[in-house]
Amino acid sequence: MFAAISGYFTLFYGSYFLGHFCMSFVYGLGAPATGAAAAVLCAAVTITLWKASACPGDGREAVWGIFAGFFLWCLLGELLEHEGILSLVSPAAAALLVPCVLLIVYVIYRSLLPVGLRFALGHFGCVWLLHAVLVNQAEMLKQHHSPLLSFSVPALGLAFLLIALLMLVKTVRARSDNARLAFLLPSFIFSGRPWKRHRCWILHLIIPVMPIGAAARRPDPGAARWRKRWTNR
């Protein structure tokens, strides 16, 4: 079981890292490359959604659904936002976010769609909700309550860490493969995602205490710039 959990975590982290790297690389190549990436993502979403809905009940449909949700977010939440076509994390998008998340929860709870499609919607909805909370929390505190930002960041990181650990415990106790994946996916998302705008949230707990053990050493300008980048972005 633990080997499977480690394997899935490695797969998820590798996918997110590779996706972030590829998207950043494509953005730097200009409009033609971005258009090609949009076409590739559309094809990836179509294929993975089809596989998620067409696979027999052998566990593979959940994995296809997870990748479908990943590609769907890369297309709608990353590429279209980068191009200024659609912003799913702006304050104005809250009117769309809330009913969509509630609808996704209802569909999953009532099992109104095949397992793979429920995993796709759950993955997409979870990432969308977390992005909206994190982006707007940081922006609003910077504008209206700047002193609270230094407190809210590690507090939010601690909350995410506790949720990730709870989901990991539920993963170990689950009795079916689909149930394990259903708990493992939010555990991965809450524990940290190597995305462009959102650093690993566990680092919010680690970075503020890093200088304690280095007080007697000569300051390292490179390390200081690194800490400033991850704590003040």
Secondary structure (3-state) at 112: coil
146: confidence class by pLDDT, cuts 50, 70, 90: low
Give percent of the chain above pLDDT 70. 75
Which of residues 136 and 163 earns the better pLDDT score? Answer: 163
Kindly state the average pLDDT of the residues 75-104. 88
Alpha-carbon Rg for the chain, nearest whole angstrom, is 19
The answer to whether residues 18 and 48 touch, using CB atoms and an 8 Å cutoff, is no
Please report the pLDDT score of residue 157 as a whole number. Answer: 79
Given a cut of 80, is residue 77 above it in pLDDT? yes
- Assess whether pLDDT exceeds 70 at residue 193: no
Average pLDDT over residues 127-146: 76
Which of 134, 118, 32, 22 has its CA nearest to residue 78? 22
C-alpha distances (whole Å) from 191 to each of 149, 172, 233 are: 20, 16, 18
Q: Is 174 exposed, middle or buried (0-12, 13-18, 19+ CB in 10 A)?
A: middle
The pTM of this model reads 0.76
Of residues 128 and 57, which shows the higher confidence score?
Answer: 128
User: 53 burial class (0-12, 13-18, 19+ CB within 10 angstroms)?
Assistant: middle
